[in-house]
Structure 1
Amino acid sequence: MKVKICGIKSQEAAKFAVEHGADAIGFVFAKSKRQIPVMDAKEIINELPASVWKVGVFVNEDAETIVQTAKTAGLTHIQLHGEEQMEAYENIDLPIIRSVSVSPGEELTRVKKLKANFVLLDSPPEKFHGGNGMSFNWNLAEGIGAFQQNVILAGGLNGDNVQAAISKIQPFMVDVSSGVETDGQKDLSKIKDFINKAKGIEEE
């Protein structure tokens, strides 16, 4: 099981997450309580291993700005987390993660048709797109990862529920932000616990 720790803002949290098995680190460039300046992200990324995904999270940003940000910061993947039309981003020469809000009545068959390298299933947006700490009804996407190998699961995950979520959805990767925080800051013990729980699912 792959793990992405998102909303990283400090060198300490990024290094700790990677040392304990994180496969991807997410940096939020959209308006958010976890928004990070491009040069701050660059400093953190410069210290990360080449094998780790460096994911930039954008909401309704134009492709040109995304490309420039990716080059400056050293991103390896782009996450589109708004209402973007994929056609406008076809010239971005990096793998694209497309978020999909899952809610009752959602037709998940459209997930198969998305022209994206990876599909991130998340709860519907509230004040911000993503990172709200709310999970969606996993029954709505039960077993989707068994026949679609590019599914990333997000939305309200934490160390207490991640194993149940993995069993239900069978994703390629799980993505957490608020679920590894205490008082709005990344909590190293929660990061370690989450990664251990997520990766331990295969040992049972």
Structure 2
Amino acid sequence: MSMARVKICGITRIEDALAAAQAGADAIGLVFHAASPRAVSIEQARAIVQALPPFVTSVGLFVDASEETIRRVLEQVPLDMLQFHGDEPEAFCQRFVRPYLKAVRVRAGDDLDALAGRWPGASGILLDSYKPGVPGGTGETFDWSMIPAQRNWTLVLAGGLQADNVRQAIDLTTPWAVDVSGGVEAARGIKDVAKINAFIQEVKRV
């Protein structure tokens, strides 16, 4: 198994994006959802993306945003990838000529193969924990044993990950990538450099 890739989500500051890149993150996530404590403006996001070094993927996260809203962001922020956390159907996700991740909030009894099959064009299916009224960033894990060992879709694992459980998560689920936000924060939207480094070092040790 190759090393899992790492995405540090909920970046709101240039210094946090650079710390993630320096630590070895493969991608950073920018939240364009006003209700989130980690939301960024177009101006913030543009400055962060412009500061990134080469080969760090910028991902824009949206929750049931309108096509007009997403296109307005893309006109001003050169995002590499999109991430959809709402009820967006496959046809909508495909409209923007960008690779995309589709987030699925996992509930007990879900057939994850069937759910993943609803977005055949997705570069990855991001599994997060379900919490009523919260589209993501719950800081809670879900039952990883629900994830099929054999699957024909690309798993990005999220939900309650931090340095002290990410190795176990990778061992159990063999994801292509792991996605962390709250698990590497000093406060909502403010990352902790030591936690970022510890998280990525744990991933590398698997």
TM range (shorter): over 0.9
Query: Any idea what SS the aligned residue of 1:69 has?
Result: helix
Calculate the TM-score normalised by the size of structure 1.
0.92
Asked if 2 retains the 8 angstrom alpha-carbon contact of 1:2 and 1:199, the reply is no
RMSD: 1.4
Report the CA distance between 1:149 and its aligned residue.
Answer: 5.5
Calculate the TM-score normalised by the size of structure 2.
0.91
Q: Equivalent of 1:135, from 131, 137, 141?
A: 141
Aligned pairs for 1:79-158 within 5 A: 79-110=83-114, 111-115=116-120, 116-143=122-149, 147-148=151-152, 150-158=154-162
Per-residue deviation, residues 75-114 of structure 1 (Å, max 9, x unmatched): 1000000111222232210001000111111011221442
1:25 is aligned to 2:28: yes
Q: Which amino acid aligns with 1:191?
A: I
Per-residue deviation, residues 154-186 of structure 1 (Å, max 9, x unmatched): 000000000000011110000000001123331
Q: Equivalent of 1:163, from 164, 167, 176?
A: 167
Query: Does 1 or 2 have the higher relative contact order (CA < 8 Å, sep 6+)?
Result: 2
Asked if 1 retains the 8 angstrom alpha-carbon contact of 2:89 and 2:119, the reply is no
Q: Which amino acid aligns with 1:124?
A: Y
Name the counterpart of 2:202.
Answer: 197
1:3 is aligned to 2:6: yes
Q: Which amino acid aligns with 1:8?
A: I
1:42 is aligned to 2:46: yes
Gaps of 5+ in 1: none
Out of 177-186 and 38-47, give the one that drifted further: 177-186
Asked if 2 retains the 8 angstrom alpha-carbon contact of 1:149 and 1:171, the reply is no
Report the CA distance between 1:8 and its aligned residue.
Answer: 0.4
Deviation above 6 Å: which 4+ runs of structure 1? none
Gaps of 5+ in 2: none
Identity, in percent, stands at: 38
1:183 is aligned to 2:182: no
Asked if 2 retains the 8 angstrom alpha-carbon contact of 1:142 and 1:168, the reply is no
